[in-house]
Structure 1
Amino acid sequence: MRVGCPKEIKNNENRVGLTPGGARSLVAAGHEVLVESGAGERSGFTDAEYEAVGARIAPVARQVFEQAELIVKVKEPQPPELAALRPGQILFTYLHLAPDPLQTKALLEHEVTAIAYETIRDASGRLPLLTPMSEVAGRMAAHVGAFYLQQPNGGRGMLLGGVPGVPPAHVVVLGGGVVGLNAIKVAAGMGARVTVLDKSLPTLRYLDDIFGNRIETLWSNEAHVEQALVQADLVIGAVLIPGAAAPRLVQRRMLKDMKPGCVIVDVAVDQGGCVETTRPTTHADPVYFVDGVLHYAVANMPGALPRTSTLALTNATLPYAMQLAGRGVKDALLADPGFLAGLNTYRGKLTCAPAAESLGIPYTDPRTLL
């Protein structure tokens, strides 16, 4: 199969969908790899490194989209990329369709076979292709929050861990999944007071077992969220319902009771955000204020750490890309129900049930189409 890797064009998206090592594996398996010139530069990979393992370099993205049967990317296709996609072409990337009706409509109209990293499941029901970027984003969230708590950056002027005689900042983490767990690791490691809320009691028990009295756990309901927000200096939104829009746990009315200059880092922004006042921002213009509360809602946080993020992502995505290239879409997906869960659009039909429900578009069971 001819596999294409274009340069990412989303604002400050510095990752690349395929490392030279990944290209080498595909070439060794008999596939042709076409990489847009400069695609890996911001992650520290040169064109020469791709050529050295047998990949071809395309001078412009148009050639990649025209020639490749399988497109491997990082972020959802931007408008020029959507226009370049053709019927039957396989797109393998993060999609996050639930809050994005325009992208969904374009993929359906172009009859793209779109497979989303974030809805693929493994045999245990986990999300193996979302996990590495959730780990990066969760750890970043605590660092970003600490940065914006500095008064020159708009925050309350608090050191996350405090100092002897001065209490630490209070970090509230909404959601105890992969993002939340990694945010807690860093925030607690920096000495912050940490409270985590989740609706899953087994998750809260697990977090209590591993962190002990270094954190507080609360079962998530509206009263407990309000109680935690009043005390918070930094709020990290780490809520995920795979494939669906994130629930709005923090409502606009709640902001008036929060401390002036407190910080919200909404990692759930990719799925619409778990804060009512969240709107996507970019690394070029990452923050804004609502009712005196600083909001950070960059939709591609790991793009700021492209070397780490690209290597971690390719570790997870390459085995699946090899299956697609080696077996084709139908055989690869039907052989693995978890992989099949990643199929979001096919032959003009929406095949991801949570996205269909969020968007109000009819759902089609992919097994009836393959």
Structure 2
Amino acid sequence: MIVGTVREIKTHEYRVGLTPESARELVAHGHEVLVESGAGVGIGSSDQDYAAAGAKLLPTAKAVFDAAEMIVKVKEPQPVERAMLHPGQILFTYLHLAPDPEQAKDLIASGATCIAYETVTDRTGALPLLKPMSQVAGRMSIQAGATALEKANGGRGVLLGGVPGVRPGKVAILGGGVVGFNAAQMAAGLSADVTILDRSPEVLERLAMHFEARAKTRFANAANVAECVAEADLVIGAVLVAGAAAPKLVSAAMLKTMQRGAVLVDVAIDQGGCFETSRPTTHAEPTYIVDDVVHYCVANMPGAVARTSTYALNNVTLPHALRIADLGWKDALRRDPHLAAGLNVWDGKITYPAVAEELALPSATLETALA
């Protein structure tokens, strides 16, 4: 198979779909790898590194899109990239379609077969291709929130860890999954006053056993969420419904109960955000203020630590990319029901139920696509 990767063009996105090491693995399996010149510069990998791995360098993204049978990316294709997709081509990347109807419509129109990292599962029902970026984003959410809390950045002027004689900052983390766990690790490591809210008793028990006295846990009912948000210096939105839009846990009215200069970090912004007042931002302009509350809603947080993120992502995506390239997408998905859960668009139709329900666009079942 001819596999291509291109330079990411989303604002301040420096990751790349394939590292030189991943390109070498694909070449060793007998596949041709096409790389847009400069694609790896954000992770410190040169064109020469890719050439040494056996990849062929092409001057433009269009040249790669025109020739490749499968495109491996990181972020959802931007409008100019969606226009370069062609029928029958495989797109393997993060998509996050539920809050993005325009992208969904363009992918439907392209005729491409689109497999989304964020809905691939494992035998436990977890999301292994989302996990490493959730780990990165969870950890980054605390350092981003700590920076936003500085007075010069619009925040309350609170140091999360406090100092002797001065109380630490209060951190409320909504969601105890991978993002929430990693955010709590970082916040607790800074000696902040941490509370994690979740609706699963099993998750709360696991978190309580892990953190012991370093973090508190509370059941995420409406009253507890409202109380913790009102008291917090920093709120981390870490909820996820696989493939679907994130639930709005913090309403616009709740902002009026918050402290002036408090900070909201919405890690769920890729799925529409879990705060009613959230809107996507970029690393160029990461924050904005509503009702004296600072909002940090960068949609590609891990892009800021591109090298770490790219290698962590390739560790989990490469085995699937190899399987698709070796077997073709249909046989690969037939043999691996967990990879099959990643199919989101096929033959001009949405194939992931949560996305189809959210967007009310033409749909087909996975069984039909694999028949």
Q: Is the TM value for this pair above 0.5? A: yes
1:147 maps to what in 2? 147
Residue 362 of structure 1 deviates from its aligned partner by 4.6
Task: Give the superposition deviation at 1:358.
Answer: 1.5
Per mean C-alpha deviation after superposition, the further-off stretch among 212-221 and 175-184 is 212-221
Query: 1:246-285, aligned counterparts within 5 Å?
Result: 246-285=246-285
Matched residue, 2:329: 329
Residue 367 of structure 2 corresponds to residue 367 of structure 1: yes
Alignment check: 8 A CA contact 1:168 1:192 kept: yes
Q: Distance in 1 between the 2:289 and 2:156 partners?
A: 13
Equivalent-residue separation in structure 1 for 2:290 and 2:6 (angstroms): 37
Deviations 1:16-62 (A, max 9, x none): 00000000000000000000000000111100000001100001111
**Amino acid corresponding to residue 85 of structure 2 in structure 1:** L
Separation in 2, partners of 1:128, 1:247: 22
Distance of 1:292 and 1:268 partners within structure 2: 21
Q: What is the CA–CA distance in structure 2 between the aligned matches of 1:70 and 1:224, rounded to whole Å?
A: 47
Query: Could you tell me the percent identity over the aligned residues?
Result: 59
Q: Tell me the equivalent position of 1:187.
A: 187
Distance 1:149 1:175 in 2: 21
**For 2:328, what is the secondary structure of its paired residue?**
helix
Query: How far does the alpha carbon of each residue in 1:167-200 deviate from its partner, in whole angstroms, 9 at most, with x for none?
Result: 0000000000000000000000000000111111
Paired with 2:243 and 2:282, the residues of 1 have a C-alpha distance of 22
**Partner Cα distance (1:354, 1:219) in 2:** 26
Query: What one-letter code is carried by the residue in structure 1 that aligns with 2:172?
Result: V
Look up the match of 1:49. 49
Matching of residue 168 in structure 1 with residue 140 in structure 2: no
- Give the TM-score taking structure 2 as reference length: 0.99
Once the two structures are TM-superposed, the CA of residue 351 in structure 1 deviates from its matched residue by 0.4
The whole-number CA distance in structure 1 between the counterparts of 2:307 and 2:84 is 28
Q: Residues of 1 paired with 2:74 and 2:321: CA distance?
A: 13
8 Å CA contact 1:250, 1:275 repeated in 2: yes
Alpha-carbon distance between aligned partners in 2 of 1:147 and 1:326, rounded to the nearest angstrom? 45
- Answer whether contact 2:349 2:361 (CA < 8 A) is retained: no
CA displacement 1:86-111 (0-9 Å, x = unmatched): 01100000000000000000001111
1:361 deviation in Å? 2.6
Note if contact 2:230-2:257 (Cα within 8 Å) is conserved in structure 1: yes
Secondary structure of 1:172 counterpart: strand
1:352 is matched with which residue?
A: 352
1:120 aligns with 120
Which residue matches 2:40? 40
**Structure 2 counterpart of 1:69:** 69
5+ residue gaps in structure 2? none
2:108 alignment partner in structure 1: 108
CA–CA distance in 2 between the matches of 1:91 and 1:361? 19
SS at match of 1:264: strand
Q: In structure 2, what is the Cα distance between the partners aligned to 1:302 and 1:357?
A: 29
Quick one: distance in 1 between partners of 2:349 and 2:152? 49
Q: Report the Cα distance in structure 1 between the residues aligned to 2:198 and 2:112, rounded to whole angstroms.
A: 36
Q: Would you say 1:135 and 2:135 are equivalent positions?
A: yes
Aligned-partner Cα distance in 1 for 2:142–2:162: 15
Is the Cα contact below 8 Å between 1:184 and 1:194 reproduced in 2?
A: yes
Distance 1:329 1:353 in 2: 19
CA distance in 2 between counterparts of 1:307 and 1:110 reads 31
RMSD over aligned Cα, in angstroms?
A: 0.7
Letter of the aligned partner of 1:172 in structure 2?
A
Structure 1 CA distance for aligned equivalents of residues 74 and 362 of structure 2: 27
- Cα distance in 1 for residues equivalent to 2:52 and 2:334: 35
Contact 1:237 1:274 in 2 (8 A): yes
Q: Render the CA deviation track for 1:305-357: whole Å, top value 9, x for unaligned.
A: 00100000000100000000000011000111111000000001100111111
Give 1:151-230 correspondences, 5 Å limit: 151-230=151-230
Give the letter aligned to residue 310 of structure 1. Answer: T
Post-superposition offset of 1:265:
0.5
Aligned residues: 370
| Contact 1:174 1:239 survives alignment (8 Å) | yes
Residue of structure 1 equivalent to 2:295 = 295
- 8 Å Cα contact 1:346-1:366 kept in structure 2: no
Distance 1:199 1:355 in 2: 23
Q: What's 2:313 paired with?
A: 313
Structure 1 segments of 4 or more deviating over 4 A? Answer: none
User: Residue by residue, what CA displacement relative to the aligned partner does 1:210-237 show, whole Å, maximum 9, x if unpaired?
Assistant: 0012111111111111010111000000
Gaps of 5+ in 1: none
Match of 1:10 in 2: 10
Q: Which amino acid aligns with 1:218?
A: R
Amino acid at match of 2:98: A
SS at match of 2:256: helix
Q: Which amino acid aligns with 2:287?
A: V
Q: Within 1, Cα distance between the matches of 2:313 and 2:147?
A: 25
Give the alignment's TM-score, normalised by structure 1: 0.99
Give deviations 1:131-185, integer Å, cap 9, x for gaps.
0000000000000111111101111001100011100000000000000000000
Give the match's secondary structure for 2:83: helix
Tell me what 2:233 maps to.
233
Structure 2 equivalent of residue 339 of structure 1: 339
Match of 2:31 in 1: 31
Question: Which amino acid letter does the alignment assign opposite residue 120 of structure 2?
Answer: I
